[in-house]
């Protein structure tokens, strides 16, 4: 490397600067790496992958089916060092959905571990796409990754090259495959540092899936900053609370449901100074609870397409400006656009984001053409800004309910329902209605396992009568103990709709059909 950050190999640059610092540690096993050791492991893995690449005539695309772990981080940086494209695979998907995603990205090689080996073998045609395991293989068609291999010449991508392909959450319709460059990822990490701050002894806990941007971003930020990343294979309220309290964690990325469960555990971490909260809207009541508990919550609005954060609110802002997700990060421009026109502060329209963190486009060129304009990336989210650029997100454009000619924001109704007695969470969507075009449907969650659904429903109805305009009131309500959400924290609208179809009842007490 002829100079710092000449190409997207952040780890090589970091290792030259602070080889002795702790880089990475497993929350489960305690296994740790200094930056020098991590760099050596990445070189070894890159050498093994290079030897396993049967066709080296062009760029290689590697599918990674690994759980959040040091091995995932090593695999990611090894792939980058080779100049390949990384495709983290969502191992929580049903085999049919995962097969569809694999068919769309067409990886040249796939990497798995003992826990994911069978799933990977079930969905990958190993005759055309070799499957290698970082562990000793046990499934037919899978080969060991590590064997005798020759040295290789590192060829990390330029900052303009695609190095990462991630799928969006896909709460409705097919998830889109997003291309992200080294420049996108580095710009995001720099801007995040300027908003959140960085200390040399920071230790960030990753307990989100690394096949989503929210889980992978800390692995990029920590290497750029020279701080420590603590990786937990999966979130568990009790175990995560223990890690936060006993392992000196200073920062963690969470979605609202995770924060709720941690508050229920009664955590009191000594060193925690940053909770980056994203993935879904944060209810005001949740932020109030966190504030009362002394937890430093930074609500954030971001997308896969923006390489994580686009806007982030400081903890003090959440009290003074309820429900805001803050101002844009440095370099990011957020506009509100409707019918090709820029809107003034306070006016509601589509959120459009531009800047160095924004993806150059989707793997499917037609998706790219539909999503970008002269203003930048059209997010499909509806919101507004104030005079100082603070952003409020009201929901998805395609989620807006039109009932009897009136527009209803599902987010507004859900946030109101979350304040109803006994309700811990809520999700709202539009249902077809022969008279009104659409009617408002709501699923409300309650904490107790055994509950009187009819009584809870009546309480919710009475609350809505007192607090919501008539056209905003849910006409169909279902009661459950947990709102269906994706791993990134967003409401799973398809599952919510099925819940309404199976358990929903009209406010008059008649069965929903």
- Residues near 100 by Cβ (< 8 Å), separated by ≥ 6? 174
Q: What number is the average pLDDT over the span 219-228?
A: 98
Q: Which residue has the higher pLDDT, 442 or 504?
A: 442
Domain count, the chain: 1
Q: What is the pTM of this model?
A: 0.86
Question: How many Å apart are CA 127 and CA 118, to the nearest integer?
Answer: 16
Q: Which residue has the higher pLDDT, 152 or 317?
A: 317
- Residue 105 lies inside a defined structural domain of this protein: no
Residue 512, pLDDT score: 35
| Percent of the chain residues past pLDDT 90, beyond the cut | 65
Domain that holds residue 487: 400-506
Residue 511, pLDDT score: 38
Instruction: Scan for tokens 């844009």, then name that residue.
Output: 328
- Residue 221 lies inside a defined structural domain of this protein: no
Q: What number is the average pLDDT over the span 248-266?
A: 93
Q: What is the pLDDT of residues 288-307, one digit of tens each?
A: 999 999 999 999 999 999 99
Is the pLDDT at 513 greater than 70? The verdict is: no
Q: What is the pLDDT of residues 110-166, one digit of tens each?
A: 999 999 999 999 999 988 899 999 999 999 999 999 987 778 888 899 999 999 999
Residue 336, pLDDT score: 97
- Residue 512 lies inside a defined structural domain of this protein: no
Residue 423's CATH number: 3.30.300.30
Contact 108, 53 (CB under 8 A): yes
Contact 497, 484 (CB under 8 A): no
- Residue 489 lies inside a defined structural domain of this protein: yes
- Residue 296 lies inside a defined structural domain of this protein: no
- Residue 219 lies inside a defined structural domain of this protein: no
Is the pLDDT at 56 greater than 50? The verdict is: yes
Lowest mean pLDDT, pick from 26-30, 78-82, 129-133, 466-470: 466-470
CB count, 10 Å around CB of 93? Answer: 19
Question: How many Å apart are CA 455 and CA 457, to the nearest integer?
Answer: 5
| Percent of the chain residues past pLDDT 70, beyond the cut | 94
Residue 469, pLDDT score: 87
User: If we measure between CA atoms, which residue out of 234, 263, 230 comes closest to residue 246?
Assistant: 230
Instruction: Enter the tokens of residue 510.
Output: 């008649």
Residue 235, pLDDT score: 94
- Residues near 385 by Cβ (< 8 Å), separated by ≥ 6? 334, 336, 345, 346, 391, 392
Contact 353, 336 (CB under 8 A): no
User: If we measure between CA atoms, which residue out of 88, 76, 165 comes closest to residue 360?
Assistant: 165
- Residue 416 lies inside a defined structural domain of this protein: yes
Task: Tally the C-alpha atoms within 13 A of residue 254's C-alpha that lie toward its C-beta.
Answer: 27
Is the pLDDT at 11 greater than 70? The verdict is: yes
Is the pLDDT at 481 greater than 50? The verdict is: yes
- Residue 426 lies inside a defined structural domain of this protein: yes
Angle of the 256-265 helix axis to the 284-292 helix axis, nearest 10: 40
């Amino acid at each position: 490397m002829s100079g710092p950050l000449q190409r997207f190999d952040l780890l090589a640059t970091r290792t030259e600067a602070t080889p002795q610092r702790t880089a990475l540690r497993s929350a489960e096993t305690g296994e740790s790496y200094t930056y020098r050791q991590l760099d050596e492991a990445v070189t070894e893995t890159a050498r093994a992958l290079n030897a396993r690449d049967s066709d080296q005539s062009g760029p290689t695309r590697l599918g990674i089916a690994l759980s959040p772990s040091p091995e995932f981080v090593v695999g990611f940086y090894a792939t980058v060092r080779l100049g390949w494209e990384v495709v983290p695979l969502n191992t929580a998907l049903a085999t049919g959905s995962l097969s569809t995603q694999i068919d769309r990205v067409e990886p040249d090689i796939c990497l798995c571990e003992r826990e994911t080996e069978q799933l990977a073998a079930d969905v990958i045609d190993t005759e055309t796409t070799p499957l290698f395991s970082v562990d000793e293989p046990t499934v037919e068609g899978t080969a060991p990754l590590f064997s005798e291999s020759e040295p290789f010449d590192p060829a990390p991508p330029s900052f303009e090259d695609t190095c990462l392909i991630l799928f969006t959450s896909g709460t409705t319709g097919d998830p889109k495959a997003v291309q992200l460059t080294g420049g996108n990822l580095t710009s995001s990490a720099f801007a995040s540092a300027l908003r959140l701050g960085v200390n040399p002894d920071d230790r960030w806990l990753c307990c989100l899936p690394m096949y989503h941007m929210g889980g992978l971003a800390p692995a990029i930020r920590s290497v750029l900053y020279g701080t420590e990343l603590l990786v937990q294979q999966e979130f568990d309220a009790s175990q995560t609370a223990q890690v936060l309290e006993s392992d000196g964690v200073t920062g963690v990325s969470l979605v609202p449901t995770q924060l709720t469960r941690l508050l229920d555990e009664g955590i009191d971490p000594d060193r925690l100074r940053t909770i980056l909260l994203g993935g879904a809207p944060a209810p005001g009541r949740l932020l109030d609870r966190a504030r009362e508990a002394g937890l430093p919550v930074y609500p954030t609005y971001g997308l896969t397409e923006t390489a994580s954060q686009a806007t982030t609110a400081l903890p003090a802002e959440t009290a003074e400006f309820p429900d805001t997700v803050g101002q844009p990060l440095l370099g990011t421009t957020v506009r509100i656009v409707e019918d090709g026109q820029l809107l003034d502060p306070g006016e509601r329209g589509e959120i459009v984001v531009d800047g160095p963190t924004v993806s150059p486009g989707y793997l499917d060129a037609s998706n790219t053409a539909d999503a970008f304009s002269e203003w930048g990336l059209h997010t499909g989210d509806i919101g507004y800004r104030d005079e100082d650029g603070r952003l409020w997100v009201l929901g998805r454009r395609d989620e807006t309910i039109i009932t009897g000619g009136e527009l209803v924001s599902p987010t507004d109704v859900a946030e109101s329902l979350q304040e109803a007695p006994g309700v811990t969470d809520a999700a709202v969507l539009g249902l077809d209605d022969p008279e009104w075009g659409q009617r408002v449907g709501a699923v409300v969650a309650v904490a107790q396992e055994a509950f009187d659904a009819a009584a809870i429903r009546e309480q919710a109805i009475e609350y809505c009568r007192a607090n919501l305009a008539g056209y905003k009131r849910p006409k169909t309500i279902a009661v459950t103990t947990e709102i269906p959400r994706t791993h990134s924290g967003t409401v799973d609208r398809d599952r919510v709709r099925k819940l309404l179809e199976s358990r929903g009842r009209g406010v008059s007490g008649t069965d929903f059909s």
